[in-house]
Chains A and B, each alone.
Chain A
Amino acid sequence: MSSDVAVQIDRVGKRYGRHWALRDCTLSLPAGRIIALVGANGAGKTTLLHLAIGLMPPTEGSVSLLGTPLKPGRPQTLSQVGFVAQDHPLYRGFTVAEMLRYCRKTNTRFDQAGAEGRLRDLGIPLNRRTGRLSGGQQAQVALTLALAKQPRLLVLDEPVASLDPLARREFMKTLIAAVAETDVTVLLSSHVVTELERICDHMVLLRGGRVRLAGDIDDLLAGHRVLTGPRVDDAALDGLVTATHGERNSHLLVRQPATAPTHPRWEAHPVNLEELVLAYLEGQD
Chain B
Amino acid sequence: MFAFRVLDRSGVPAYLQLVDQVRRGLLLGHLQEGDQLPTVRAVASAVVINPNTVAKAYRELEHAGLAVARAGQGTFVTGNIEQVPAATYARLSGRLRQWFADAREAGLAPEQVRAMVDAVMDDERRRETA
A interface residues (Cβ-Cβ under 8 A, vs B): 1, 32-34, 169, 172-173, 176-177, 179-181, 194, 197-201, 218, 221, 270, 272, 274
Contact = CB atoms under 8 A, between A and B. Distances in A.
Interface of B: 6, 8-9, 11, 13-15, 40-41, 44-45, 47-53, 55-56
A176 B49 contact: yes
Given A1-B55, A179-B44, 7 more contacts: A34-B52, A198-B14, A198-B49, A201-B50, A201-B52, A201-B53, A218-B56
A118 to B, nearest CB: 13
A180 B51 contact: yes
Contacts, number: 55
B107 to A, nearest CB: 27
Contacts of B40: 180
Contacts of B55: 1
B63 to A, nearest CB: 15
A198 B50 contact: yes
B14 A176 contact: no
Contact of A34 (B8, B13, B50, B56): B50
Contact of B44 (A33, A176, A194, A200): A176
Contact of B11 (A1, A200, A272): A272
Contact of A173 (B6, B48, B53): B48
A275 to B, nearest CB: 10
A176 B45 contact: yes
